[in-house]
Amino acid sequence: METFDWDALDGQERTQAEDDELAQGEAQLRALLLRARPKWSSRELEAALRKLQMVSVASVAQLAEVLLLPKVAVSVSPKLELDELEEEVLNVKLQEAGVVQPRGFGFAAARAGHQGRGCNGRPRGDRHGGDRDGDGRCRRRLSRSLEAIDFVVVFERVALRASMALDGEVVGVLTRGRVLRGVPQQDAGRPWVKVKLQEVNGGPVAVREWQVVAPGAGLELADTKPKRVKELSLGSVLHGHMEQHWLKTRQGKAKRHDSSGREFFRCLPERFGWILVNGEHLGLGALLQPLSVDDGFLRRLPDRGLGLFATQEYEEGDCVLEERPFFRRHGVAQLKGHQKFFTKSFRAKFEQIKAPFTMPGDEAQSHVYASPAMLRSAVSFCSASLMTQQMILELHHPPLSSSHPLVSVALAVAKLCRSAVPCCHEVSEEVLQRAILAIEMNIFVGECCFLTFCRMNHSCFPNVVYISEKRQFRALRKIQKGEELLHSYLGRELLLPTELRRRLLWRSKAFECDCTRCTAEEDPMRRVACRSCAHAKEHYEVIFHPGVWLRSEPSLQGKQLAFLNEGQRLKATGERSGSWIHVKVERQVGWVLTNGRSLSPPLQKMLCLPLDAESWRVVADPYDGLPLPEWPGWRLWHEAALLFLPVDDVQTPVAEDETQEEAFSREILEQLPADLDLPCAAFTQDSPCCRFLGDRWSCPSCGEEVADLTSERLLGRLAERTFFTPKMTPALGSVSAKAGTSALKMVKRLFVRQAFELSASCSQRLGPRHWSVQWARLFLVDLAISRLNYGVGRFPALGILLLDALQELWSWLTTLDLSHDPSCFLLTRTLEAQHLLGNDPDPLVQQKLRTLQTWSESCRKQVDILPLRPLIIDGSISFQ
């Protein structure tokens, strides 16, 4: 039995003879490495040597000693050559040191490692195969025993002991969900795991254990003239890191290291601790579980690190997981305690921290800036206990070698915090950078980190949802045993198209999402109305007096087939050529000119105009300068604008207080060519939509393909800025917010006018089903609810407008590939509409309300992902 001799750790000065022995051992190891890796350059060799020393291997003898196993293996198989063994041991140690990729590491290897050990009292049998004959068996067994594998703590709390015995000194405690690496070992038939203390409870990498090895060391106050506050007795153990001649410990104190050329402290060698794997004989059951068992709850996946899996079947609404956080990030209020360190110059430096951001495979460049949340992360981390710090560092984060902009931003924030905030002085730059990244990647709503929840991967089509008030995950749909549990790291962003969702995830969480929605062939958010199908359904009326010619070709030279009188109705066939349309009139077909501008001399007049499919009225002629063109894609937004804004505001083309950004958006909209407007028939219920398939749209009905992404991208970018994050300013005065709303905010009238213009442009060019138009609807719903809540006077048309928009949004959400039901995005809005319009005498309003109520009653209403935004228009309410 291998027990650890703690007494041996007592500080002894190293003698010259020991130094010589070390040098000799190193030379042996170098020779062994050279033999085993003849192709390595001297730099690679030196790097490997350094890394081996980090895992306690400084000589060939140590290599054998640490693992003890060669002796066992030799006795089992005398055929095995020592060289071969050395190389095997060397390979394992190199893997442990991170010099080469662990062979077979991960799922299969860990499973193999677990096999036959009887952990959890469950014999594993031989179902995972393995080399079972002769030398092969021996080699397999050897590497298995040497390999460190991942375990997860499955019991509430397990003890880390100084020796492989139940009465061994407890040197640490690990809580459920903690993931650790260790080498399985047996003692008297009981399975134990040997782990490095540094890895599990020794604190962040730079902080090590030190021991007082000479008399005269004392505790001094840092940041002031050295002032001794305490003598330190020989042998006492401290946590800290070296900075020049001082060993720095926590609480802003420093300890003298070698002011007079003498060493006071020595870093303790890495220690080991043992954890019992199975507590069945104690009546406890499994304490640790290898990570990669087939039916495990926590598994290692080939391309995403760890992931959580269902160990039983769940019905929709069931509670799947519940956990308490181990870490809570400081809120803004708590940070105020540190305010005096955030001087003007600190703030200036902080605001300059940024790194260029590009999406892989995309040329468009922007920047990622340091967020104040990172500052909170740094301070919270540095104020946490060593154990908590270690648990944070164990959470997933991008490697520091990654070129992702967050990595360099986190480094700059870490540097700045270390230099300015006292509680951060003692943590190394690298550790603080890792901590900021780990918190950024794993933080949950409510500013918490969890040991288990944080291992759950993301999907835009999740099967569980986080209920923050209860700290629970609940099933969004039926979940089969063995299915991966996936939640969405995104909230309302789930209602954005794939390209934007992937961009957001890459930007904030540094990964390229490969979920079912992101990899699906079609992106249903980007459905646009099919122009050619709509053209084919279009009806026209001759509005020119006395009438127009039906011609055999789309030109004035075309043969005159018939004269069509003013007022005559024509059915389009779908073919067009410039201002010419191909029509069917009674039994004849031919071409008709719609626009007199191409005549010579030009006639500034339309000759034929489309009929609105809903009202069968002629759509007004924009060239005659009529003030209110009644294009269906435009009409809803124009009418809405008139309900919310004074007529002057709606019609004034440019406002004087327009900001640069607003001017930019307006110019973009003005530049969009008018001839791309969709025909009226595109706005009828049954008009077909083109599906977006990667880089083009294709109509399932007529087969038409469209590849022009430019105006859709342009409108999408404006829509994201306008509807997704409306520019709001806090309201003046003191009106308390009503239930379901957050603090009151104001939107500028000019902003609202431009938002309606954008809504109309998106609608006219992309049709009623595109995501940008749906976000415009949400904006309209929030404006309408705010107006009904806070506005002065009644607006009868507002109720119908609100309920129509809600119904439209509800049915859009049901057609998308979303696992959340529409109530997750619309519940508060629906309830608020019911509350505000419940007493409305209009029977149409009551009928629409009943429909909405039936829909919402059939939903589970688990979460509200998209709370109502109180969009109060500046000047539309008066504060008393």
CA-atom Rg of the chain in angstroms: 36
Contact flag: residue 396 with ligand SAM (CB under 6 A): yes
- Three-state DSSP class for 151? strand
Residue 668 amino acid letter = I
Enumerate long-range contacts of 844-847, CB under 8 Å, 24 or more apart.
Answer: 844/800, 845/799, 845/800, 845/803
- Calculate the alpha carbon distances from 44 to 56, 61, 88, 496, 583 in Å: 19, 22, 19, 47, 78
Contact flag: residue 865 with ligand SAM (CB under 6 A): no
Q: Using the rule CB under 6 A, which residue among 306, 310, 412, 414 binds ligand SAM?
A: 306
# of chain residues touching ligand SAM (CB under 6 A): 18
User: Least Å distance between CB 359 and ligand SAM?
Assistant: 15
Taking CB under 6 A as the binding criterion, the range among 224-232, 298-306, 472-480, 698-706 that sits at the site for ligand SAM is 298-306
Contact flag: residue 95 with ligand SAM (CB under 6 A): no
What distance in Å separates the CA atoms of residue 608 and residue 852, rounded to the nearest whole number? 41
Query: Smaller CB distance to ligand SAM: residue 60 or 454?
Result: 454
Contact flag: residue 509 with ligand SAM (CB under 6 A): yes
Query: Smaller CB distance to ligand SAM: residue 263 or 514?
Result: 514
What distance in Å separates the CA atoms of residue 289 and residue 287, rounded to the nearest whole number? 7
Contact flag: residue 305 with ligand SAM (CB under 6 A): yes
Find the helix packing angle between 60-67 and 16-36, rounded to 10°. Answer: 80
Query: Smaller CB distance to ligand SAM: residue 413 or 515?
Result: 515
Using omega within 30 degrees of 0 as the cis cutoff, is the peptide bond preceding 360 cis?
no
Would strands 354-358 and 365-369 be described as parallel, antiparallel, or unpaired?
antiparallel
CB–CB of 753/761 below 8 Å? Answer: no
Q: Using the rule CB under 6 A, which residue among 192, 511, 697, 756 binds ligand SAM?
A: 511
- Find tokens 């495979």 and name the residue: 361
Contact flag: residue 399 with ligand SAM (CB under 6 A): no
Query: Smaller CB distance to ligand SAM: residue 144 or 458?
Result: 458
User: Least Å distance between CB 454 and ligand SAM?
Assistant: 5
Query: Smaller CB distance to ligand SAM: residue 195 or 485?
Result: 485
Give the residue closest to ligand SAM by C-beta: 305
State the Cα angle at 376 between 374 and 379, rounded to 5°.
110
Contact flag: residue 483 with ligand SAM (CB under 6 A): no
User: Least Å distance between CB 412 and ligand SAM?
Assistant: 21
User: Least Å distance between CB 709 and ligand SAM?
Assistant: 25
User: Least Å distance between CB 288 and ligand SAM?
Assistant: 18
3-state secondary structure 152-185: EECCCEEEEECCCCCCCCEEEEEECCCEEEEEEE
Contact flag: residue 576 with ligand SAM (CB under 6 A): no
Contact flag: residue 513 with ligand SAM (CB under 6 A): yes
User: Least Å distance between CB 312 and ligand SAM?
Assistant: 21
Which helix (H) or strand (E) covers residue 356, if one does?
Answer: strand 354-358
- Cα torsion 152, 156, 159, 160: sign: positive
Contact flag: residue 510 with ligand SAM (CB under 6 A): yes
Taking CB under 6 A as the binding criterion, the range among 222-230, 513-521, 533-541, 542-550 that sits at the site for ligand SAM is 513-521
Query: Smaller CB distance to ligand SAM: residue 134 or 305?
Result: 305
- What is the number of residues in the chain? 880
User: Least Å distance between CB 330 and ligand SAM?
Assistant: 20
User: Least Å distance between CB 366 and ligand SAM?
Assistant: 20
Query: Footprint of ligand SAM on residues 760-779 (CB under 6 A)?
Result: none
**Which among 514, 513, 487, 104 is positioned nearest to 292, based on CA atoms?**
104
What distance in Å separates the CA atoms of residue 688 and residue 530, rounded to the nearest whole number? 6
Contact flag: residue 646 with ligand SAM (CB under 6 A): no
- Site map for ligand SAM, 441-480, x if CB under 6 A? xx-----------xx-xxx---------------------
User: Least Å distance between CB 472 and ligand SAM?
Assistant: 18
**Which among 382, 377, 326 is positioned nearest to 174, based on CA atoms?**
326
Query: Smaller CB distance to ligand SAM: residue 818 or 871?
Result: 818
Contact flag: residue 222 with ligand SAM (CB under 6 A): no
Residue 504 amino acid letter = L
User: What b/e sequence results for 531-552 when a residue is b if at least 16 CB atoms lie within 10 Å of its CB, and e otherwise?
Assistant: bbbbbbbbbbbbbbeebbbbbe
Q: Tell me the CB-side half-sphere exposure of residue 655, using CA atoms within 13 A.
A: 18
Query: Smaller CB distance to ligand SAM: residue 243 or 484?
Result: 484
Query: Smaller CB distance to ligand SAM: residue 452 or 687?
Result: 452
- Find tokens 């308390």 and name the residue: 736
Give the number of other Cβ atoms within 10 Å of residue 516's Cβ. 12
Residue 365 amino acid letter = Q
State the Cα angle at 54 between 208 and 16, rounded to 5°.
90
Give the number of other Cβ atoms within 10 Å of residue 834's Cβ. 15
Taking CB under 6 A as the binding criterion, the range among 20-28, 131-139, 508-516, 682-690 that sits at the site for ligand SAM is 508-516
Query: Smaller CB distance to ligand SAM: residue 462 or 574?
Result: 462
**Which among 376, 400, 374, 190 is positioned nearest to 274, based on CA atoms?**
190
User: Least Å distance between CB 120 and ligand SAM?
Assistant: 23
User: Least Å distance between CB 205 and ligand SAM?
Assistant: 18
What's the token pair of residue 350? 């902080």
Contact flag: residue 515 with ligand SAM (CB under 6 A): yes
Query: Smaller CB distance to ligand SAM: residue 169 or 514?
Result: 514
Judged on CB neighbours under 10 Å (0-12, 13-18, 19+), 64 is middle
Taking CB under 6 A as the binding criterion, the range among 107-115, 274-282, 506-514, 579-587 that sits at the site for ligand SAM is 506-514
Contact flag: residue 819 with ligand SAM (CB under 6 A): no
Q: Using the rule CB under 6 A, which residue among 46, 135, 313, 514 binds ligand SAM?
A: 514
CB–CB of 540/581 below 8 Å? Answer: yes
Residues found near ligand SAM in the complex (CB under 6 A): 304-307, 396, 441-442, 454-455, 457-459, 509-511, 513-515
